[in-house]
Structure formats: structure tokens, C-alpha cells
């Protein structure tokens, strides 16, 4: 499951880099999640799972949302990068990746 997640993150990172080529270097590197473009209560659901340390639940939501990137981009004009980063941050807060250094390359 970690390999699938890393593949998704890698693909989204490549898409983000491709989309941002030539952008203003002073632009912020973080983006705000447009919660209104997702199901009502999703942020509260993710936050509750983080508090409960429900790593499997957050991973499930991450995978589900990751699979809808093209549909969201077509409908709203943005991909899922911001919300996937948000879920990843909440997983880290919940210590879902104990011992992870973030330096693993290639899966």
C-alpha cells in the first residue's frame, strides 16, 4: 500500500511541477484546500481520524481522493494536490509513518 501511495504522490508531484513551470518563484509553496469542492464534512472527518490515529481510514480517504484527480481537475480547474498534502500532514501528526525519514527515493 505504501508503494501505491508513493506512486500517487510521485505522479501528482510531477503534474504539479509541470503545471508550475515558469510560475513566479515568489509564489507560496503551499496551497489552500478548496473544501467546498469536496463532500461536506470531509475536513472534519479527516481531522477526527487524525485525532483517533485512524491511519487506515486516512489512507483509504487518501487513495480514494487520489483516484479522482482528473475528474476534479476537469470539474473545478484544480487537482487534488492540496487535499492530498493535507491528508499526508494529518497522517504525520497521527504518527502513521513511525520511523519514516522522508528521504526514501524510488519507493
Domain borders along the chain are 1-9+53-96
Question: Of all helices (H) and strands (E), which one includes residue 33?
Answer: none
d(CA 63, CA 29): 23
Least confident window among 21-25, 45-49, 57-61: 21-25
Taking 90 as the threshold, does the pLDDT of residue 29 lie above it?
A: no
Rounded-to-integer distance, Cα 30 and Cα 69, Å: 18
Separation CA 93–CA 26 (nearest Å): 28
Q: What is the pLDDT of residues 46-56, one digit of tens each?
A: 999 999 999 99
Range scoring the smallest mean pLDDT among 5-19, 34-48, 54-68, 87-101: 5-19
Say whether pLDDT at 20 is over 50: no
Distance of alpha carbon 58 from alpha carbon 24, whole angstroms: 33
pTM of the model: 0.67
Q: What angle do CA 12, 52, 13 make, to 5 degrees?
A: 10
Amino acid at each position: 500500500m505504501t508503494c501505491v501511495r508513493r506512486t500517487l504522490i510521485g505522479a501528482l508531484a510531477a503534474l504539479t511541477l509541470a503545471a508550475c513551470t515558469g510560475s513566479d518563484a515568489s509564489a507560496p509553496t503551499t496551497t489552500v484546500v478548496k473544501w467546498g469542492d469536496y463532500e461536506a464534512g470531509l475536513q472534519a472527518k479527516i481531522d477526527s481520524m487524525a485525532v483517533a490515529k485512524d491511519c487506515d481510514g486516512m489512507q483509504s480517504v487518501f487513495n480514494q481522493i487520489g483516484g479522482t484527480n482528473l475528474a476534479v481537475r476537469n470539474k473545478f480547474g484544480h487537482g487534488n494536490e492540496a487535499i492530498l498534502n493535507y491528508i499526508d500532514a494529518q497522517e504525520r501528526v497521527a504518527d502513521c509513518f513511525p520511523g519514516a525519514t522522508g528521504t526514501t527515493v524510488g519507493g
